[in-house]
Amino acid sequence: MEIRAEHGLAGLLAAGLALGAMQAHAEDKTGFYVGLGVGNASVQDRVGNGELGHVNFNGDDTSFKVLAGYMFIPWLGLELAYHDFGSPNDTLKNIGAKAEVEDATAWSGELIAQLPLGPVDIFAKGGIVSYDAKIKVRGEGGNFQDSPDGEEAILGAGAQFNIGPFAIRGEYEYLDIVDGVDLFTLSAIWHI
């Protein structure tokens, strides 16, 4: 019985130390943070051209992101970001045209909820994105242009690995723009 009690006490002590370490880590991650990310933007849209009907656009390009946020408590915060989607393009073979998205940018504001698990945080977020873009189609049947803009929903999820005040974050975000924009981003974060 004495051996079991010692093992049980050692187990409780180890669990308490682990919980304390997680709590200390979580307490460190309140306040402001800033970051910079690079990734891939994949844009889907249905492009129309009068008599030729609609064709599907599916292009991707390198994207960039600048972000700033504030964690009110270790598991809840607010994040603002500027997104540049690059210039995704696609060849529309059935109408003999090339389509390109130009000057595609957006601002987003999202609530972020995270679960601190030691050096790794898992998070989900959602909010509003305000976007502006130009879609140009050039081809045999003529040229046309569309300039979608507006406000839509943005949702995301990911994980980050913390190293002191710095973190490396990988995330996926879906923007309800045109027929959908998928963003995969790797960011460097600094907790101020």
User: What CATH number does the domain containing 22 carry?
Assistant: 2.40.160.20
Q: Report the pLDDT value the prediction gives residue 49, as an integer from 0 to 100.
A: 53
pLDDT of 58 reads 77
Number of domains within the chain: 1
- pLDDT tens digits for 82-136? 999 998 888 777 677 788 888 889 999 999 999 999 899 999 999 999 999 887 8
Domain that holds residue 34: 2-191
pLDDT of residue 173: 96
Of the pLDDT bands very low, low, confident and very high (cuts 50, 70, 90), residue 68 is: very high
What mean pLDDT do residues 174-191 have? 90
- Higher per-residue confidence, 177 vs 151: 151
Q: What is the pLDDT at residue 183?
A: 94
- Please say if the pLDDT value at position 18 is more than 50: no
Three-state SS annotation for the chain = CHHHHHHHHHHHHHHHHHHHHHHHHHHHCCEEEEEEEEEEEEEEEEEECHHHCEEEEEEEEEEEEEEEEEEEECCEEEEEEEEECCCCEEEEHHHCEEEEEEEEEEEEEEEEEEEEECCEEEEEEEEEEEEEEEEEEEECCEEEEECCEEEEEEEEEEEEEEECCEEEEEEEEEECCCCCEEEEEEEEEEEC
Which of 21-30, 150-159, 165-174 has the lowest average pLDDT? 21-30
Calculate mean pLDDT across residues 4-17: 52
Does residue 154 surpass a pLDDT of 50? yes
